Amino acid sequence: MASVPVLSPAPSTAPPRLLAVSRRSARPSSVFPPPPSSAPSCSSPSCSCSVSTSIRQQRRSLGNGGLSAYACSTSFFIGRVGLQRREGNVSLLSFGNKQHVISEVDRTDSSQVLSAMLPFVVAATAIAALAQPATFTWVSRELYAPALGGIMLSIGIRLSIDDFALAFKRPLPLSIGFIAQYVLKPVLGVLVAQAFGISHMFYAGFVLTACVAGAQLSSYASFLSKGDVALSILLTSCTTIASVLVTPILTGLLIGSVVPVDAVAMSKSILQVVLVPITFGLLLNTYAKPVVSILQPVMPLVAMVCTSLCIGSPLAINQSQILSREGLRLVLPVLTFHAVAFTLGYWISKLPALRSMDWFM
């Protein structure tokens, strides 16, 4: 068996551990074991193990910053590093890739499938609710909280306490999200409403929609898109709590009339929809792994059904207003508002000044 160290091109002052991505923000790779202090042994009769002394000296001169790969071959391939990416083998093509990533290439993740299906499910739900309102009118308001709780439970069983601890340690993303929620969105809502000349009857409702906190379905969208779910949950919870004071102030300034927010009902909603299901999911994921392994294949589908119910019911109940002439005039302003808001949010988070900060990443 031949040991072939692959050296990084530049020295590093990092401790002698394996670096997988970059020396500034590198993480120990789970694929490559740390280089042994002595030549590894091999039980194969046709395999010899050695480490080049000259290359070891070169590595010392580089300051312990190199990447080392150890390949074992037999027959006339002794000393060569394989170029096939196979699970359990280290090769040049597997540098920077975790071992479990290779094994998951052929394994279908249900959350990824549902993420691809979500736009079609939402569109089908909207069409069914508007064409046949009876399909969703049976969903009463009392079922909204359990449905949203089911969605949050499906997220909670995939989270850990460390996820929330990391989010709490990064105040910058929370602050920027809070400011965007209650400064950028309301101003954008007013500009879009005025640009499209929305009638006074719908103007107040349009601006009010831009002044309220985000819904918990945004956390589910973050989960499906492989985003920072813990950060999304914290941001939505913070803006929802603050809406008791902020939303009436914004509506008074932008609309001219104060829209009160029931603090008791808001607290009850946060408890039912966020705190209880997320805490229960965290406890299951921490102390009941066998139960989580049973629930994980099922919960994404449950969350998708709950999402469909939460979207279809309001559309079915307000079908006549939505399909009216005035209601159809709101389609383009609503699409414009969301497109601009999503674009601004995406590019603001990609500003170099923000991405260079460790607590934002």
Number of Cβ within a 10 Å radius of residue 252: 12
For residue 154, the model assigns a pLDDT of 87
272 has a pLDDT exceeding 90:
no
- What is the spatial distance between Cα 281 and Cα 302, in angstroms, rounded to a whole number? 14
Read out DSSP for 281-311? HHHHHHH-HHHHHHHTTTHHHHHHHHHHHHH
- Check whether residue 63 and residue 211 sit in a common domain: no
Considering the domain architecture, whether residues 194 and 331 belong to the same structural domain is answered as yes
d(CA 188, CA 191): 5
DSSP state of 357: S
Question: What's residue 17's pLDDT?
Answer: 43
Mean pLDDT over 239-258 rounds to 85
40: DSSP letter: P
pLDDT (mean) for 101-114 = 52
As a whole number, mean pLDDT of residues 108-112 equals 61
Which pTM value belongs to this model? 0.61
Whether 129 and 120 have beta carbons less than 8 Å apart is answered as no
Q: Find out whether 239 and 176 touch, Cβ atoms under 8 Å.
A: no
Asked, for residue 340, whether it belongs to a domain, the answer is yes
Confidence tier at 354 by pLDDT (50, 70, 90): low
Q: Give the type of residue at 251.
A: T
Q: Is residue 360 situated within a structural domain? A: no
- 126 and 88 in one domain? no
User: Which of the four pLDDT bands, split at 50, 70 and 90, describes residue 356?
Assistant: low
* 224 and 267 part of one domain: yes
Please say which residue of 106, 121, 146 terminates a domain: 106
Distance CA 302, CA 114 (A): 11
Strand ranges of the sheet holding 67-70, from the earlier edge strand across to the other edge: 50-51, 2-6, 67-70
Range with the poorest average pLDDT among 1-15, 253-267, 290-304: 1-15
182 within a domain of the structure (yes/no): yes
67: CB partners within 8 A, 6+ apart: 5, 6, 7, 8, 18, 19, 32, 95
pLDDT of amino acid 125: 95
Same domain, 55 and 170: no
Domain identity same for 126 and 195: yes
Q: Which domain holds residue 162?
A: 110-355
Q: Classify residue 128: in a domain, yes or no.
A: yes
Q: Which of 43, 77, 106 is the last residue of a domain?
A: 106
226 dihedral zone (left: phi>0; alpha: psi -120 to 50; beta) = left
pLDDT range class, residue 63, cuts 50, 70, 90: very low
| Region of poorest pLDDT, from 87-96, 127-136, 309-318 | 87-96
Report the SS3 class of residue 354: helix
Q: How far is it, in rounded angstroms, from Cα 188 to Cα 247?
A: 15
In one-letter notation, the amino acid at residue 176 is I
Residues 67 and 138 in one domain: no
pLDDT at 311: 92
pLDDT of residue 128: 95
Q: How far is CA 330 from CA 120, 126, 206, in A?
A: 22, 16, 9
Same domain, 161 and 175: yes
Specify the number of domains making up the chain. Answer: 2
**In the prediction, which pLDDT does 100 show?**
42
Quickly list DSSP for 141-184: GGGHHHHHHHHHHHHHTT--HHHHHHHHT-HHHHHHHHHIIIII
Residues 167 and 202 in one domain: yes
Residue 52 has pLDDT above 70, yes or no: no
**Domain CATH for 346:** 1.20.1530.20
Output the CA torsion 269→272→277→280 (10° steps).
130
pLDDT at 313: 93
Give 93-104 pLDDT, tens digit per residue: 333 444 444 344
Judged by average pLDDT, the poorest of 78-92, 120-134, 220-234 is 78-92
Q: Are residues 134 and 57 in the same domain?
A: no
Q: Is the same domain home to 72 and 157?
A: no
In a domain, 361, yes or no: no
Which residue, of 85, 106, 127, is where some domain finishes? 106
Structure tokens at 275: 């705190």
Domain co-membership, 178 together with 86: no
pLDDT at residue 92 greater than cutoff 80? no
Residue 329: its H or E element = helix 325-329
